[in-house]
Structures are given as C-alpha cells and as structure tokens.
Structure 1
Amino acid sequence: MFPNKKIGTKEEFWNYLQQRRKEESMLGCARKDETVEGQVIIDGEPTGILSRHAYGLLDVFTIESQENGEEFKLLRIRNPWGKTEWVGDWSDNSEEIEKYRKELDVYVEELEDDEKFEIGEEDGTFIINFEDWSTIYNKLYVTIDFPPSWTGFRFTDSWNKGNSGGLPMPSAGITAKDAQISWGKNPQYLINQNKNGTVEFFFSLAQNDGRIEGKYIFPFVEIIDPICLIIYPAEDGKAVSKFDGSKVNPAWISTVVEHKEVSLRAMLPKGKYIVVPSQRQPSSDERPYYLSIYFNGSIGEVSFKNLKNPGNNGEEIKEEDEEIEVSQLRQDIIKTRLEDIYDSNVERKKPKIFN
C-alpha cells in the first residue's frame, strides 16, 4: 500500500491519524474480510484480532526510548467485548512492553483520569505498533468533530423528474453516450476556491432516514436510493452539459452505495469546481437530499452557487447546528468512510466509462 500516489507515504498517513486525534475525532478500525470470520491468521499464527469486528481506536501516540532515544509509533486500541486482544509485538506481557515499561507508565500517567488503563490487564485494551496495525486492519472509521477554523455550508434540495440524470455509465436500456448526457441534468453546485494554495474539503450527501416514517424496513428502498458524489472541474464556472471522464480525478468520485449517506474528502487547489450529486438511475420520484460541505477556510475564501436552481443558494451551517450534528454523529456512530485506510486518497481504479 505504501507509498501510494493517492495516500502518500506511510509517514503522511501517520500524520493524518495524529491530526484527526488532535482534533478529537472519534476513530475506529476493523479488518474487513468477506469470507473469513474469527481471528486473523498471519503466517499460520493467530493474531488475536477478529475479522469483521469493530474496534475503538483510542489514541495515536509515540514513546521515546530512555536508553537510546529511539521513537516508536503506537496506537491504543480497544475491543468493545473487553477481551480477545492483539498478541503480537507490544501486546500485553510482550517483550516490548517489558523493555519499555517505564516509558509506557509515563504515557499512561499523563492521560486524563477517565482514559487511564492498566497495562497487561485482559480488559480489551491493547497497544499495537503502527506497522502491524496498518498491515492487519483495512478499514478506518472517522467521525470528524470539525475544529473552529472550519466552515460548513449546506444545500437542501431534491431530485425529481426534471433534474434526475443518474450516473454517467451505461445500464439497462441506456448507452454510455446517453448516460453521459443524462448525467448533465443532475443538480450542480459551483465552488469557487479563491484561497491561495490547497483547501481541504469534506463533502456529505445525505438522504432522509429510512426509519422516520416507521412503516418501511431495511434497506428502506422506498426512501433511500444508491447515490454518488462527483467533483468536476469547471474552468468557466458554468454548468456542464455532459460528463467527460478525462477531466475527472478518480479520487473525486465517491463510491455508489445504497446508504443514507455517502461522503468524500478532497484537497482542492485554487480554482472552480462543480459538485454533482446523483442517483444511480434517473427517477421521476421526488427524493430530498442534503449536501453538506465543510472546509478549512471561511466564507469569502470559498463561495458557492446553485447553478441549476439559482433561487436556492444554500446557507452557512451555524455553530449550534454543528453541535447538534456532532452529537447525533456520536450517538449513531455515523462513519466517515475511508476505504482501505484513507477513503479519498486510496488508489482507486476508474470504472471503464470514466476513462
């Protein structure tokens, strides 16, 4: 995986984890394996890590050897079951734990009281080094608590018979060419990134919760559609009439999933961009959605415009609204999906239609 032209180096990913932890984001991880349940086996040996099981990622930290100054990149993980822990390097009672016990005791002592733990206890909490963690786990979940320097902006809108264009790829009865033209019917939102340098953006496209009406069952197909977000370059700031895959960075295309929400993270240089939310297939039904855009800048440095519906130019998300949303995120553990450890920067192949 490392180095990767989208993820970057392992050091850059470590820095990303540290930054999310510094911002007090809620972190989790898992080993996703479609065919295997139970303990992950490496080189014939059980690791203590359970496949298809969610873990809390409690901390990202370093310790320095008092003997020679060597630095170790470590993570503190918790199995919510309170048992079944990692058994490799830096695990309870390992050689590393014994050798660097003084350094680890200092680390624990500096934690807040409600985070302190007993090293060596069978309580579900364990330490693992970054090398082993990034090898074994392949899913990272992040609930971002945006810092004060970030701004949020939201469009509340809907797809309908007149603006539902579907994805720019062929499907039953629709050719690739027709799908690319149809995609241009979708709602389009212009972003003017006026700030010198690069701005980090987080995009969320959400639908109504399928449980609201209380009469549908999962996967709530009556309310929830497979949806997707695409960020498209816009040199002239005008709506695009059809899709041209040669202009699109594959990292600026979300997955297509039948979920309440899809999300996308992107680093955008100064320039103009169009955000296009779409359903998998064109639909004549009225389908509400909420496009939320967070970025590390201010209104003025970044501005927005609804290209297809000028009467709806969205609104800034106020701090009190953000607090409510963060509370809801924490309750529901809504996940900012980072596939294969870093969603928007994962090496991703374009579907053929995007080439």
Structure 2
Amino acid sequence: MFACLFCVCLPDSHAQLMRFRGDSYFPALQNTERGVKHYEMSSDGKGGRIGNSKNFGGQNYQKLRKDCEKRKQLFVDTLFPPSNYSLFLEEGRHTDIEWKRPAEIAEDPHLFVEGAQPNDVTQGILGNCWFVSACSALTHNLKLLEKVIPSPEDQEWSPKRQYCGIFRFCFWRFGRWIDVVIDDLLPTRDGKLLFARSKTANEFWSALLEKAFAKLYGCYENLVGGRLSDALQDVSGGVAETISTRKYLERDPAASSTTLFDHVKTSFDHGALIVAAIAAKTKEEIEMSLDCGLVKGHAYAVTAVRFIEVNKQKTSIGSKIGAFFSGHRDREMLIRLQNPWGEKEWNGPWSDDSKEWEMVSEAHKRELGITVDEDGEFWMPWNEFVDHFTDISLCQLFNTSHLSLSKRFHEDIHHGEWTTNGSKSGAPNDLAGGCLNFTATCCSNPQYLLDVTTPQNEMYFSLTQMEINEGLKRREPHISIGMHLMKVERNRKYRVHQPMDGAATSDYSNSRSVCLTVRDVAPGRYILMPTTFAPREQTTFLLRGYADFHFKLQPLTRHVPPSGLFSCASVTQSVTRLQIRKAEYHRRPNDSLDNSLKFYCIIQSDKEKCQTSVQVGSMNPEWNDLFLFHRKDRRQRYGIELWHERFGPDTLVARAELVALMDNECKEVDLPLVPPKSKSVSESVGTISIQMCAYDDPYYI
C-alpha cells in the first residue's frame, strides 16, 4: 500500500507524539470544585469486544442514561476511562493532560452549531488525518451523518432534559452498525482540546466522534496512521476502493483524465465519500510541504466535484457584455478539497484569490460558496489534481431501494470462512488455498457462482475480513486478501478444480477490505473466488456484491454430482468439457435463411440440454462457449444442433453427432453438419469445430 494510506499527519509545530498527564487526573474524578458527582458504570466483562451484540462492550446507551438520570450523576465510562489507558499503547507515561467536559472547555456547549460543515472537523496534534478527512467528507451526506450520530437532537444540551455526560455513536463493522457509548470527558492541555475540534469553539460533535472511534480502536494512539478506506467504510458501510490515478490512466490508454473526472463526479453526486492523498515515497517526505501549498503523505477530503462555467475572453466590461449576448461560455473541471489542518491550501490556478475567478460571474461564485479565508478548503483544476494527487479513496453508497427513481443496484451478502478444516493442503474439504500464484491449491477457496445476463453491466464486490481483536489495544496485522472472477461453463453447477480464464482480479492487500470493480463483461456464468494471498491462512470474511442487474451469488459446496441413492459407492464418474468453436459451410444450408444471420447451438445429452449464446452477423458464426457434463460411463454421445433465430419460429439449420471417449485428453474435432432430415454424412453442408476434453477423474476440471 502507499505511504499516504498510513500517513502520520501531525502539524508542523507538533512533530512528536503528544505527552499527557492522564493517570494522575483519573483518581480525582469527583471534581468537587463544580459540585458534581460522577457515576462510574462498569462493563459486562466483555473487554470491549463486540461479540453478538450490536452494543460495543455490551453497553446499552438508553439503560446507562436512565441510570444516570435516576442517580443524578454524570456518566464516566470505565471501559474507556479518562486516563493513559485510553491514550497510549504503553500506559506508564507521565503526562500533563487534563480530561475536561465540554462545559469546562467552552460556554454554552452544543453537539452541533448551525449544522455540520466540512471545517467543523479540524485535526489536532494526533496523526489521524485519515479519519478526520473521512469525517469532513461525511458532512456532505446528512442522511449518513444521522446514522453515525443517531438522534442528535436527543443528545444535544437542552434545558428540557437532564444532562448526563453520555453520548452514542454508530460505526459499521463487518456488516453491522455497532453502537459505541462514551462519556464526554475529552483530553485537553491548558484548557484547550488536543485532538479533533471544530472551528466553532462551543461545537463538540467532531471531538466526541473521534473519542468514540478511538474507543473502537482500543486507544487514541491506535489512530496514528491508518487507511483512508477503513475510515470511510467505518462511517458509511459503503464499498471502499482506492484508485491510483497513475495506474488508472496507464491501465486503459483510451481513458483520459476526463473519464476519471466523470467517474469521481458521478460517485460524488450519488453520495459517495471521497478522500484524496499524495503518496510519500520515503519517511522523510511525510508531511513535506510542496511549493504549490499541498502536503505529501497527507489526506484531504473531497467536498465538491463540479463543472464551472467560465468566460475565457478578456475581462473588460465590453467583452463581458459581448460574451453574454453571444452566449460564449466554457466549462472548467474543478475539484474542491478540505485540508483537515484547517490551513495550508493549494496556491496555484483557481486557488482562493487567483485571477482565474475573474472569469466566473459573481452569481456563480455565490452559488459555489467561494471564500478567500485560510480555512483549509480550496478549489483546484482537475488536470493539476491528477498531476499532484496519487490516490483517491472512494466509498460508494449503492441505492438498493425498490421505490427509488434513480439508478438501482441489487445487493447480495454472504459470510464465509477460509479454513483448512484440519486437512492437508488441497484436500476436498480444505478451504484455504491461497491466490492464483499457487495453482495446485487456489481452487480450494470458497467459490460463489453468478450469472451475468446483460452485456452492459456494472458490478462491485467488497471483501472484508473480520477484526480478530476488535476493541483491543494490541491489534494483529491483517491477512493479505483479494478476489478473482473467472468465466466458467455456461451450465457449471459444481466447484471448479482448476483455474479458468480470468475476467478480473483485484489487488491483494493486507487491509481490512478490498474491492473489485467489473464493467461490461460478456454475458455468461462466472465464479467469484475470495482468497487469501498465501495458502492455509484462516479467518472469516464478509463478501458483498452489488450489480445494476438482478443477480445472485450462489455458494458452491459440492465438488461433483451425488452418486445417487442406490448407486454403488465404487462407481467412478467421468467429466467432459465441450467448447463450441465455429460453424463453416461449403454450401448454403437452408434457402429459407433471412438476412438477420443470428445463429446458436443446442447441445443435448441423454440427461441435459444446453444452449450457446446467439452470434450475429456472419454465415460462419464463432463461439467461445464452454459446457460441462458429468457421466458414469466411458462412452458419451451428444447431439449438436445449429439453429437460426428468426422473428417467427426459429429454424433448425443442421445437426451433428459427437461421441466422447474417456481418454484423459483434449482434442479438436470437426464434425460434419448435415441437414435436419438427412441421415447421411455425404449430404453435409459444412462442419462445426469443437474442442473436447474428457477425463475419468471428476475432480480434474
């Protein structure tokens, strides 16, 4: 992964990790100066693990709050106490921190002041720009923000209800939204917040949200350096992917930066959360300020992606009037970003006070909310953005509602496991085979079958591994994971035992989640295989699929068809794979053929009937369709029919017959095509080419 995904984003004036006085303050929680008693609520002994409850650590917000109201005491969370325990991995540090409640930090505290804005989230001295930027991006999706901060009006300071110093936040973890309860004691020095804070002194939602996130991760220090995609997924439940701008453009030479702009803009308009970063190639480059005002090894929230109407003619009054009447306008591709430091902005073209804004009307500026404040938010041209920013972390939120008028995606979700089941590598019940580099065992992984039914298609797959030490301070490294999508036989019903032609493969990463995006693959049957990079690595996973057509991910557990209730156990099954290649004619097969030239084949055994795709536009149609047949005898006979698709009833054009012997070989055969009513090969009208692979081992393919 790129260095920017693990950036340590400390402001220039705070190059070292913070020093605090936490433990010395914790025993003095009675705070007798304010005359307020604090109520310490013990946990249920789960040590912060989620378990099967949707309440982190088993703490129920409503019960805790009612108990505090009954006792007339402020809540203190002993699962995440105001001490060094909640700050550091190693607790034995002398610190000068003071944990204060919002009312001790600012007058008239509130959760929100005039709603949520991107600059409500300003990074403190903690190197967690990856999380702070995700929170800034979150402010552009108010519906999602209310999911992360549920019932904000009930959690606000209000004279109508007793204040109990307890708050509730929600994060998405492994397919579920988890409630995380915290108290409102925040780390300060000299009466000021040390970590995330709002530009508005009495607004505290970002500081409290950060504390809940630190609790989820075990301590504040665990937030130093992290993956942008993890933070985006935690606050959205979406499908997160990281796009390398260089690789995106190199992978598809026909694509341009405009194509990427359209993708990012469409995603943003559909509510995606987006964060961008500039990779630091060395440790010394982390937080290095560039001459253009940008910072390496640092994350920026994307707050707008727009076409801006500009008048590129001279800016004199006369030329402006002429441009108005002539309708001469151009469009610029711009992107707006938010630096979580609240300062250090882009100083190139289209920066806050650059001359380029003279080409934009005042009304358009007001619509865009253009300001010249040093608030960390700035516009920059798209071409400069792709030149400087190396990575775009994009978290898609898919519309799965049946009632929506906008584009709808179908969703399918499965929980699975990579496990050896105590077996040898590659054994039938081994489900931890590793990636395609390990050809002998890779097909031992879990497999999911799906049918693609339309030629224009869009699919997203997200693979997430479980956090084995959720909520604990000591965090084990993730396993490197990825996905492989391969096209299989059109009638495949059982597991694949050798890898087939790959349609798409994700990057492999030791991150919590990886994403595979697939567009416009050929219709047919596919198998999606989630894998670890190396064999025999074991953990559980969550697989989510989204497609713009109706689909289903079907787990494949059987290797071969069952032998049958009354079959002898010693009966050996055989397997045959047929690939229909091409039909050629040496004379016109049927005078009734019209000009549509739409042909397909039907392959029929004594138990199964299959059909190829329809090929259009040639009298010599070509296919690349595969079919699989399991039998219990060594001699298999197949009938092959060539059909012409018409507006009325389809027409049988010709037929052929194939006899397959179990010789454990692959061979090419050309079969004579004879008219439907003919019984003699001498009357053939052409040939059909077929590849035939027949094996007496049903586990071979």
Q: TM-score of the superposition, structure 1-length normalised?
A: 0.72
Number of the residue aligned with 1:201: 459
- Which of 222, 225, 237 is the aligned partner of 2:479? 225
Number of the residue aligned with 1:243: 499
Matched, 1:50 2:295: yes
Counterpart of 1:16 in 2: which secondary structure? helix
Shift in Å, 1:128: 0.4
Answer whether contact 2:495 2:558 (CA < 8 A) is retained: no
Q: How does 1:1-355 map to 2 (within 5 A)?
A: 2=249, 5=252, 8-35=255-282, 36-39=285-288, 41=290, 46-66=291-311, 67=323, 68-100=328-360, 102=362, 104-108=364-368, 116=369, 118-148=370-400, 149-161=408-420, 162-169=430-437, 179-194=438-453, 196-212=454-470, 214=472, 217-218=474-475, 220-221=476-477, 224-236=478-490, 237=492, 238-244=494-500, 247-249=501-503, 252-267=504-519, 268-283=521-536, 285=538, 287-298=539-550, 302-308=551-557
Counterpart of 2:553 in 1: which secondary structure? strand
Counterpart of 1:146 in 2: which secondary structure? coil
CA 1:209–1:284: 2 relative to 1, 3 Å: closer
Q: Distance in 2 between matches of 1:25 and 1:7?
A: 25
Aligned-pair identity in percent equals 20
Cα deviation, 1:41-63, whole Å, max 9, x if unaligned, reads 4xxxx011111111011111112
Q: Distance in 2 between matches of 1:7 and 1:308?
A: 41
Answer whether contact 2:288 2:297 (CA < 8 A) is retained: no
Shift in Å, 1:93: 1.1
Q: Gaps spanning 5+ residues in structure 1: where?
A: 109-115, 170-178, 311-355
Q: Distance in 2 between matches of 1:210 and 1:279?
A: 16
Q: Gaps spanning 5+ residues in structure 2: where?
A: 1-245, 312-322, 401-407, 421-429, 560-701
Cα deviation, 1:111-170, whole Å, max 9, x if unaligned, reads xxxxx4x5211101101011101111111011111124112101111111121111222x
CA 1:96–1:213: 2 relative to 1, 3 Å: closer
Q: Which has the higher contact order (CA 8 A, sep 6+)?
A: 1
Shift in Å, 1:99: 3.6
CA 1:3–1:107: 2 relative to 1, 3 Å: farther
RMSD: 2.3
Q: 1:212 is aligned with what amino acid?
A: E
Shift in Å, 1:309: 5.7
Q: 1:229 is aligned with what amino acid?
A: M
Number of the residue aligned with 1:326: none
Q: Distance in 2 between matches of 1:309 and 1:260?
A: 29
Cα deviation, 1:34-91, whole Å, max 9, x if unaligned, reads 22233464xxxx0111111110111111121254301111111111111000000000
Q: Distance in 1 between matches of 2:549 and 2:415?
A: 21
Answer whether contact 2:293 2:346 (CA < 8 A) is retained: yes
Answer whether contact 1:7 1:13 (CA < 8 A) is retained: no
CA 1:284–1:24: 2 relative to 1, 3 Å: closer
Q: Distance in 1 between matches of 2:460 and 2:253?
A: 16
Q: 1:102 is aligned with what amino acid?
A: E
Q: Distance in 1 between matches of 2:301 and 2:267?
A: 14
Larger radius of gyration: 2
Q: 2:347 is aligned with what amino acid?
A: V
Shift in Å, 1:259: 1.8
Q: TM-score of the superposition, structure 2-length normalised?
A: 0.37
Q: Distance in 2 between matches of 1:64 and 1:235?
A: 51
